[in-house]
Amino acid sequence: MSVSISNGVTFVSVLLQASQNLTSQDRLFSLPQFTGQLVGQNATTISSIVQDSVRALNPRASVSNLRLALSSSPPTNGTVLQWFNVSLQFQVGGIQTPENGDERTDLSWKSFVIASNVTIGGVEVNTVGSAYMRAAATFLQTLETPSLGTFAFRNLINNRVVTPIGLPSAILKIQLLNFTRFLPPVDTWQQSYDFASRSTIWSLIADPNLGLVVQQTSSEPHVTEKSSSGFFYVLKATISAPSRSLARGDTILAFFQDTIETLMGTVIVAILALGAVTYLYERRTLKNRSSRKPKH
């Protein structure tokens, strides 16, 4: 998630790059191949869903100019990753409060979650666990059943170990448009400065191991062979605001006065000040020299 704070509006861009090689375990598993988008009038329904989710955390927020897209690659045999890329862009208004020419922006809505189905062309892009992975969960249960097989298996859902009996219900928790992991206040995120854009940046890596991970370990003595398969994605976020902006909890105090004219004025004042100091120094030096008596 990338959030950019501008004067009067906040821009949000989400790119979820999920991938799967679970087909290497369950040869019947695959994700739908599809490329398409919802924009304008076609995005009215999803725009309302996103706005309701954002307003659950900030009642004044309003969502506009939403675009939702999906691009997924063809199914494979699991030796090559199948990609499932979901992108979501929109603007958020109603969260800004003017303050002496600057602006306070409330980002408490950043951890919004969409629990309902979201589809593009009949393809589910949010609740992918319940839509596509139930049969795979049943298949993985059989792999974890105690046996005299060559391999031992362990399953993790969203970075937590799940027992075979709990796998079918836990798989339902895989929802791509769930950003609750962005709950920590912005002022606790890592802060940096981007000189190219003259922006203050806050960043957070929320969780690098979301989705389903199937860990396979050899049961043979003295063999340490391990492999992983599953459905993977990472959640991380960045927030950018004009230079000198400050974070207080989830509120960004953004300064928009650092225009070219302001910066040039600062430079001119600095040059004048330097000139005044140089003039006074030279005047004092000359005065000291003239006050010295020549030696005979």
Q: Where are the domains of the chain?
A: 2-254
- Cβ-based burial of 210 (10 A; exposed 0-12, middle 13-18, buried ≥19): buried
Q: What is the mean pLDDT of the chain?
A: 87
pLDDT > 90 fraction of the chain, expressed in percent and rounded: 68
Closest CA to 274 of 286, 262, 266: 266
pLDDT at 256 (0 to 100) = 79
pTM above 0.75, yes or no: yes
Beta-sheet strands, E only, within 49-143: 62-72, 82-93, 96-99, 102-106, 119-120, 123-124
Q: Which amino acid is at 178?
A: N
Q: Given pLDDT bands bounded at 50, 70 and 90, which one contains residue 8?
A: confident
CB 175 within 8 A of CB 116: no
Higher pLDDT, 290 or 220: 220
List of residues 6+ apart from 180 with CB closer than 8 A: 111, 113
Our CA angle for 26, 28, 32, nearest 5°, is: 115
pLDDT in tens, 241-283: 998 899 999 999 998 765 444 444 434 444 555 555 454 555 5
List of residues 6+ apart from 184 with CB closer than 8 A: 204
pLDDT in tens, 10-65: 999 999 999 999 999 999 999 999 999 999 999 999 999 999 999 999 999 999 99
pLDDT in tens, 187-245: 999 999 999 989 999 999 988 889 999 988 876 666 556 788 999 999 999 999 998 89
pLDDT at 215 (0 to 100) = 86
pLDDT at 141 (0 to 100) = 87
Rounded CA separation 190/201 (Å): 8
- Which of 100-114, 121-135, 225-239, 262-276 has the least mean pLDDT? 262-276
Beta-sheet strands, E only, within 73-180: 82-93, 96-99, 102-106, 119-120, 123-124, 151-157, 160-162
